[in-house]
Structure 1
Amino acid sequence: MNKNRKNETGKMPHTNGQAKSKNINKKKGLFNKKKDRKDQDREQGRERKQDGKPAKFKSGPGNYKKNKYKDNRGERSFDAKNDRKSDHRNDQKNGRNSQRGGSNKNAFQKKQDQKTKRETTPPNYNLQKPESRSNGRTQKGRGQANKTQPQSDKIRLNRFIANSGVCSRREADKLIEMGLISVNGKVITEMGYQVSPSDVIKYRKRVLKREKFVYVLLNKPKDYITTTNDPQDRKTVMDLVKNSCDERIYPVGRLDRNTTGLLLFTNDGEVAKKLSHPSHDVKKVYQVELDKPLEEEDFDKIAEGVILEDGYAAVDEIAVLNPERTLVGVEIHIGRNRIVRRIFAHLGYEVMKLDRTMYAGINKKDIGRGDWRYLSEKEVIRLKYFA
């Protein structure tokens, strides 16, 4: 038999040894590709598999170098957080998803613009408790028919005044007590007095209107301070949400100038007070980037709690997020000033980056750095009644 004879396809047939050698080389090539990809992931400080890590601690979009993120402006790669911030400034200057000149947009880009156009009108919320939203039905005893109960739109007068943006509820009680509030032309001094939407409420001669509740969630960038007004004319978080609504909204809590991540704004004083008060134990999740690897001994100390100058401080949960042990996830409900930074500084670590990735059960998915969105009705109800 002639070994050099060609087969029917005109190609030289392979021997069994040649086929095996080819398969082995192919497997080696695939193995080397996987190995190279894994080494590259390790160099970037991120393992492809994150087994054993809580989902809330996984790195979100747009936090770390040489990553790809996907937001409402499409998928893009970047080398630093400042890229996203500069993108936001360009978007504000030229219009969202606009190119320089703006005249050569093709049909595909126009379609993308329509998809990613930001909602600019705050939604209307139905914020009744979930129990009271079951078609107005109430449970009756055995043998009794269910009867629908009409829902009352009446609210306490002090709450109406607070919702109108005049003052807090406690201050509203004082105005009522002083006889400065009238309902339908009659001065009311009774605490607990209830009003309906058709009533005309006046503070002195000013007619009060119930403000629409607005809830705005911001992904705060670096170098913005959390205040409504700064005497030194520095950049404030209010600059980032000024076009979100006509109502006066205020930040709930605060983030340091160099801290990034989620910050909530609202004119709902009840929700703001609930989320800010220590008794409600509102959970926050942070990603912490340290200047050096976190020692196992210090990891245990943080988990058990440390004594700071203003008392005992412990985290609810802690996890190391990268092989170099410089990236740490922390869940905490303590709201004391700079508490996360001070915990690590107490053990000799400097926090290089601090990013709040979750607040009261709400994450920053699909919110680019410096961007904001309105909360959904479901999210607001959870904050009002279940947070």
Structure 2
Amino acid sequence: MYQKIRLNHYLSNAGICSRRKADKLIQSGSIEINGVTVLKLGSLVGIDDIVKYNGKTVKNNNDKIYVLLNKPKNFICSTKDQFHRKTVIDLFPKLYEYKRIYPVGRLDYSTTGILLLTNDGFLSERLTHPKFHVKKIYHVYLNKEICNKDLDKIREGKIYLKEGRVKVLFVEKSFQKNQVKIGLSIGWNRIIKRIFKRLNYRVDHLDRINFAGFHKKNIKIGKYRFLNQEIIKKTIENNFIYEKKYKYN
């Protein structure tokens, strides 16, 4: 079953307003869940809950859109940017206007690779919540060849960052001596660059080639394709190996 999502996410997903403005609506006492006025930020909504805004039922967007993008460099994974840099939404202006799709998770400004955009708030929550350990695979381009000793340190969990010990799913050299493939389920900020910096390597380029089972095969950089419900369901159920009971609805 779907887990619950934050109320501000639900309101935004329904097209009422942005998440930030939704927080103000909640604090103003304008929102009810199942007949009870909600004032607490961070309140959760389930798929069967009835949400009302000023007495009118808020209907979550049932017309779900799923877009798989091979993100180019120099795009922000957000709907807007305070520095007026290009965002991934700029690639889908009309789709955002009418369906309000959002990027699921983030890739750094200079990082390329697979990114899912959707208006399915429940799926988005599922794929970004830390407790579900979503698998991600990256192709890492380093400034120099990495030695086997350093690879073993990563592989054996001997790298420590401020959040704690780094546990990767795998790490291996690619065809080129200065390139590495690494899989992990941790979502710490800039984790890959920090791993290699700890070992005195510089990441010159980072490309995500797999996210929760979604891959960028046959999608050129800057291009995208739409996914249907059947593909979403099959991919999610096949790749959530950490919680076998999960069933996508």
TM bucket by the smaller chain?
0.7 to 0.9
Q: Which residue of 2 aligns with 1:240?
A: 91
- 8 Å CA contact retained: 2:150, 2:199: yes
CA offset at residue 266 of structure 1? 1.6
Change (3 A) 1:298 1:213: same
- Map of 1:294 onto structure 2: 146
In structure 2, runs of 5+ residues without a counterpart are: 39-45, 238-245
Give the structure 2 partner of residue 371 of structure 1. 223
The equivalent residue for 1:250 is 102
Report the identity percentage: 39
Output aligned runs, 1:347-386, within 5 Å. 347-381=199-233, 382-383=235-236, 385=246
| 1:126-275 alignment runs, 5 A limit | 164-166=14-16, 178=29, 180=31, 188-189=35-36, 203-204=53-54, 208-211=58-61, 212-244=63-95, 246-275=98-127
With the length of structure 1 as denominator, give the TM-score of the two structures. Answer: 0.50
Structure showing greater Rg: 1
Q: TM-score, normalised by structure 2?
A: 0.75
Q: Report the Cα distance in structure 2 between the residues aligned to 1:195 and 1:274, rounded to whole angstroms.
A: 18
Contact 2:30 2:53 in 1 (8 A): no
Q: 1:152-173 CA deviation, whole Å, 9 max, x = no partner?
A: xxxxxx89867523377xx79x
More strand by share: 2
The question of whether the paired residues in 1 share the 8 Å contact of 2:135 and 2:184 is answered with yes
The whole-number CA distance in structure 2 between the counterparts of 1:194 and 1:293 is: 53
Give the Å deviation of 1:300: 0.4
- What is the CA–CA distance in structure 2 between the aligned matches of 1:193 and 1:316, rounded to whole Å? 32
Are positions 1:312 and 2:165 aligned together? Answer: yes
The letter for the 1-side match of 2:64 is F
Task: Look up the match of 2:174.
Answer: 321
The structural deviation recorded for 1:353 is: 1.4
For residues 348 and 160 of structure 1, the distance between their equivalents in structure 2, rounded to whole angstroms, comes to 43
Which fold has the larger relative contact order, with Cα–Cα distance below 8 Å and residues 6 or more apart in sequence? Answer: 2
Output the amino acid matched with 2:36: T
Distance 1:189 1:260 in 2: 44
Q: Name the SS for the 2:188 alignment partner.
A: coil
Distance 2:31 2:152 in 1: 58
In the alignment, the residues of structure 2 paired with residue 182 and residue 302 of structure 1 have an alpha-carbon distance, to the nearest angstrom, of 46
- Cα distance, 1:314 vs. partner? 2.3
Per-residue CA deviations over 1:233-274 (Å, capped at 9, x if unaligned) read 111111122244521111111111111001111222211111
